Amino acid sequence: MTSNDKLIRTENLNLWYGEKQALYDITLGIIPNKITALIGPSGCGKSTLIRCFNRMNDVIDKCKITGKIFFHEHDIYEPDADAVEVRKKIGMVFQKPNPFPKTIYENVAYGSRVQGITNKSSLDDVVEKSLKNAALWDEVKDRLHESAMGLSGGQQQRLCIARSLSIEPEVILMDEPCSALDPIATAKIEDLMTGLKKKYTVIIVTHNMQQAARVSDYTAYMYLGKMIEFGETDQIFENPKEELTENYITGRFG
């Protein structure tokens, strides 16, 4: 597979928070319309890495990055690259659902309004399409003008996914999207992820190895800020090449 087959590609990516180095020489290629899982023990750099992909680390003081990250073969850290444009194409869903204290409708319409869309028919279409893509429409279509805070945790997380889909990104980053959810809500999010890859590229950080094995096509194992092994999920879980990976997968440490 050539570099041109990769939607996101990192080359020798290093990151420091002040004096502390958090990522070491990460070279990785993300294949489009697949789910890639990042696994590894707490503090190994998984969340730091996906926050590089949409430049969320820009807002952290004393954060220094070297190396390159290409999106469609354009380096998103070039001096003339626009972080706002990057974030339109690479959306993010966080560990805890974070709906705005607004109605369900306004949560989803927010991104379109920011982009200057005010036509009610257009906004209605965006809201319906996004909620359907997030597998939430049937549950909330009769209560769109009620507060999003009245939804269950799992529904709130799907609402946040709908909100990220509303501006039509190409990539969805999910930072432990199920860690605050019960098993039933988790299963719904996992089903949703599987459906989303038809239209989007999904990158998920998860502590749950069973979840990575269930939903992802590719898995990267990280340890102490380094990329230890990357490959197809079946290979990583059934026949890891690196002893560190095998020790983690089999529960010997982590």
> What pLDDT, in 10s, does the model give residues 145-203?
999 999 999 999 999 999 999 999 999 999 999 998 999 999 999 999 999 999 999 99
Q: What pLDDT band is residue 232 in, cutting at 50, 70 and 90? A: very high
Query: Is residue 113 a contact partner of residue 166, using CB atoms and an 8 Å limit?
Result: no
- Residue 120 scores a pLDDT above 90: yes
- pLDDT, tens digit, for every residue of 39-64? 999 999 999 999 999 999 988 889 99
| Length, in residues, of the chain | 254
pTM over 0.85? The answer is yes
User: What average pLDDT score do residues 200-212 get?
Assistant: 95
Q: What pLDDT band is residue 252 in, cutting at 50, 70 and 90? A: confident
Q: Residue 21's pLDDT is what? A: 97
pLDDT mean across residues, the chain: 94
- Residue 3 scores a pLDDT above 70: no
Rounded Cα distance between 14 and 244, Å, is 21
Compute φ and ψ for 145, nearest 5 degrees.
Answer: -105, 20
Q: Residue 180's pLDDT is what? A: 87
Residue 2: count other Cβ atoms within 10 Å of its Cβ: 6
Sheet with 20-30: list strands edge to edge.
Answer: 74-75, 63-71, 8-17, 20-30, 226-232, 218-223, 35-39, 201-205, 171-175, 90-93
